[in-house]
Amino acid sequence: MSISHAPPGSPEPDISDISKADASRHASPDSASSASPDLVPIVPTSSRRTRVPRWLRRTTGPVLLLVLWQLLSATGVLTADVLASPGRIAQVAGDLIADGSLADAMTTSLQRVAFGLLFGTLIGTGLALVSGLFRIGEDVVDAPVQMLRTVPFVGLIPLFIIWFGIGETPKIAIITLGVTFPLYLNVYAGIRGVDSQLIEAGESLGLSRWGLVRHVILPGALPGAMTGLRYSLGISWLALVFAEQVNADSGIGFLMVQARDFLRTDVIVVCLIVYAFLGLLADFIVRSLERLLLQWRPTFTGR
């Protein structure tokens, strides 16, 4: 690049230092050929973009991590009683799948999350609608919900065990509680964040109150609701882990507790992977849902 330099062909030695730069700039029209600017091609996006499909690019990171782990195990840096190697874990996973114990555990755990999500979504969205749509609902509902929100829901496990025993109920209740608040907050904020100009436009078009809710407020709150759902899903797995570590006799958490008692790091890692995989799957579902429901959004989608 020669932008910051005087053109090499036009030094004028008998002019003093102070005006040198100035002089060379004046001189440049005469020596146009040597002073012409560097031309840099603007590369079209299509040719710059790699041909590797997006899903493949997104999987490279995890795969690299896995390779590194296997290398560390193979070289003996990572011993089996600290963390089993990926190969050993894959083998154990195969065994667990083959004898059906993993499938059983997953079904039980998924059921717990599904029920917790269902109840949490119903309660969280319901409360948010009441306090978002009605002034009186806000006054009655919002304050207690904001107060309860500050209680760490995991801390309620002992109380839930006293109330609901040690069956499925306290586990589902914990997940429900964890799911409710992020959904409530985001749906409520989404409803209150709907552009007042659009509401006014809806009014001027003669929409009834219900029509406004259905055609303007609820679709406008949908992006917030999706954000809430994402948070909720994340928290639901977290709640599941906590719930299953306590007094579980089935489920992934139970498998883990059992494995801990026998120092089976391989089984623990398999369970962790299952948790991670389920979390990933849930995230994928929400993303797909967003792409489907929020395709109208005029936001940047990334390259």
Partner 1 sequence: MATDVHRPVTTQAVRVEGLTRSFDDRAVIDNLQLDVQPGEFVALLGRSGCGKSTLLRILAGLDRDIEGTVLVPRRKAVAFQAPRLMPWKKVWRNVLLGLPGKPERTVADQALEEVGLTHRSDAWPKTLSGGEAQRASLARALVREPDLLLLDEPFGALDALTRIKAQRLVGELWQRRGCAVLLVTHDVEEAVLLADRVLVMDDGIIAHEEHIDLDRPRDITDPRFAELRAGLLERLGVDTAAEAA
Interaction site with partner 1 (CB under 8 A)? 197-198, 200-207, 211, 215-216, 219-220, 222, 295-298
Q: How many residues in the chain?
A: 303
Three-state secondary structure readout of 146-198: HHHHCCCHHHHHHHHHHHHCCCHHHHHHHHHHHHHHHHHHHHHHHHHCCCHHH
Comparing CB distances to partner 1, the nearer of 95 and 203 is 203
Nearest approach, Cβ of residue 210 and partner 1 (Å): 12
Nearest approach, Cβ of residue 289 and partner 1 (Å): 15
Q: At what angle do helices 168-192 and 101-133 cross, to 10 degrees?
A: 40
Comparing CB distances to partner 1, the nearer of 120 and 202 is 202
- Quote the CA–CA distance of 186 and 289 in Å, as a whole number: 17
Of 1, 67, 84, nearest to 39 by C-alpha is 1
Rg (CA), the chain: 30
Nearest approach, Cβ of residue 194 and partner 1 (Å): 10
Phi, psi of 39 (to 5 degrees): -100, 130
Nearest approach, Cβ of residue 226 and partner 1 (Å): 13
Comparing CB distances to partner 1, the nearer of 90 and 198 is 198
Comparing CB distances to partner 1, the nearer of 175 and 216 is 216
Nearest approach, Cβ of residue 163 and partner 1 (Å): 42
Comparing CB distances to partner 1, the nearer of 170 and 223 is 223
